[in-house]
Amino acid sequence: MAPLSLRAGAPVLRLRSLQSAQLTRNIASPRALYSILSAGNPRTGNVQNTSIPTQIQYSLAATQSSAPIARTYSSDAAGKPTADLLIEELQDLYEVAKDEFEIATDSTDGATIYAASDRESSRDALNQLCAVYHLYTARPGEEVDSGVKVEAGAEKDGEAPVVETKFNPADISGEVRDEVRRRVGQRVRELRNAVEVLEERAHAE
Distances (CA, A) of 24 to 15, 17, 19, 199: 14, 11, 9, 76
Neighbours of 8 (CB within 10 A): 7
Is residue 91 a part of any domain in this protein?
Answer: yes
The predicted structure's pLDDT at residue 175? 94
Is residue 94 a part of any domain in this protein?
Answer: yes
CA nearest neighbour of 136 among 203, 77, 56, 191? 77
Q: Measured between alpha carbons, how far is 133 from 127 in angstroms, rounded to an integer?
A: 10
Is residue 87 a part of any domain in this protein?
Answer: yes
Is residue 54 a part of any domain in this protein?
Answer: no
Q: How many domains does the chain have?
A: 1
Is residue 112 a part of any domain in this protein?
Answer: yes
The predicted structure's pLDDT at residue 46? 47
CA nearest neighbour of 105 among 188, 198, 191, 203? 198
User: Residue 9 — φ and ψ, nearest 5°?
Assistant: -95, 0
What is the full per-residue pLDDT of the chain (205 aa) written as tens digits?
544 444 444 444 444 444 554 544 554 444 544 444 444 454 444 444 444 444 434 333 433 333 333 345 544 455 789 999 999 999 999 999 999 999 999 999 999 999 999 999 999 999 999 999 999 998 877 765 545 555 554 455 555 567 889 999 989 999 999 999 999 999 999 999 999 999 999 988 7
Is residue 56 a part of any domain in this protein?
Answer: no
Is residue 48 a part of any domain in this protein?
Answer: no
Is residue 38 a part of any domain in this protein?
Answer: no
Neighbours of 86 (CB within 10 A): 26
DSSP 155: -
Q: Measured between alpha carbons, how far is 30 from 50 in angstroms, rounded to an integer?
A: 14
Q: Measured between alpha carbons, how far is 129 from 144 in angstroms, rounded to an integer?
A: 14
**CB-based contacts of 201, cutoff 8 Å, min separation 6:** 108
Q: Measured between alpha carbons, how far is 6 from 1 in angstroms, rounded to an integer?
A: 15
Q: Which domain holds residue 185?
A: 83-204
Count of CA atoms in the C-beta half-sphere (13 A) of 205: 11
